[in-house]
Amino acid sequence: MQDLPQVLNLKLAGHRLKLKRQADLETLWSGLQEPSGDVDQERIPYWSEIWPSSVLLAEHLDRSRTLIRGRLCLEAGCGLGATAILAARLGARMVAVDMEPDALVFARQSAETNNTPQGLWTGMDWKRSGLKKHSFEFIWAADVLYETGLALPLGGFLLDCLAPGGRIWIADQKRNVSGNAWAGLLSQGLKARELEERRVSWFGQKAGVRLVELVRE
């Protein structure tokens, strides 16, 4: 890691946040390339960016502050921690997981920088959850269905963690691959309801994003 991380000054759902990271995606990606120019897909540092889906999710969390305040909440694939930090600021009792150790290092630092109550930041592969079953009333994620192969392990993880009567919120860019991923996710006993869909402009990106609520069938 670099000694002096970059600091991103963001405004999400009206809240100003400072997030730390090692470098942007392009810089980190170029450092991973083999002499052939190839990169192992699982090593691409998507976690180093805040994606447009996080904007929609952050706005929903802000609107839902009375629901999540004081509740045990889980973010799956937290990346740099933007929405987990926001939720903690709104009073949620946060657990945030990611399989990338570097992402969690910066998320912890950013929570401290923003004077936000520290939740539990933990490294975890969805295929091997170490969390107590059925203990989270609210679970959310942004941009986690960018590969079809992620759907089955994610669905199992969500169902394991979701408390009876709990809700899952997933914000997702409308990519071609997402259709198959969503089909795989919903085949595991989850029922979906679309809450919002719109185009989001964010740091030079424009993307169609939707927010979906999932509950147990």
Here the tokens at position 62 are: 């802000």
Please say whether the beta carbons of 68 and 13 come within 8 A: no
Yes or no: say if 131 and 74 are a contact pair by the CB < 8 Å rule: yes
- Cα separation, 126 vs 111, in Å, equals 23
- Residue 121's Cβ-side half-sphere holds a number of Cα atoms within 13 Å equal to 24
Stated pTM of the model: 0.92
Q: Determine contact, residues 119/94, Cβ cutoff 8 Å.
A: yes
Hey, what are 137's tokens? 């009333």
In angstroms, the Cα distances linking 92 to 47, 65, 66, 136, 180 are 22, 8, 9, 11, 32
Residues whose CB falls within 8 Å of the CB of residue 184, separated by 6 or more in sequence, listed in order:
148, 151, 152, 155
User: CATH code for 51-216?
Assistant: 3.40.50.150
Taking a C-beta distance cutoff of 8 angstroms, is the pair 209, 197 a contact?
yes
pLDDT band at 42 (very low <50, low <70, confident <90, very high): low
Domain map of the chain by residue range? 51-216
From CA 73, how far away is CA 89, in angstroms rounded?
13
Span between the terminal Cα atoms of the chain, in Å: 44
Q: pLDDT digits over 158-204, tens only? A: 999 999 999 999 999 988 777 788 888 888 889 999 999 999 988 87
Q: What are the pLDDT digits (tens) for 69-125?
A: 999 999 999 999 999 999 999 999 999 999 999 999 999 999 999 999 888 999 998
Tokens 């694939």 locate to 77
The structure tokens 């930090």 sit at: 85
Per-residue pLDDT at 2 exceeds 50: no
Q: Is pLDDT above 90 for 35?
A: no
Q: Is residue 134 pLDDT above 80, yes or no?
A: yes
Residue 203 burial (10 A CB sphere; 0-12, 13-18, 19+): exposed
Question: Is the pLDDT assigned to residue 27 strictly greater than 80?
Answer: yes
Q: Could you tell me the pLDDT band of residue 41, with boundaries at 50, 70 and 90?
A: low
H or E element that contains 21:
strand 15-21
Residue 55 pLDDT > 90, yes or no? yes
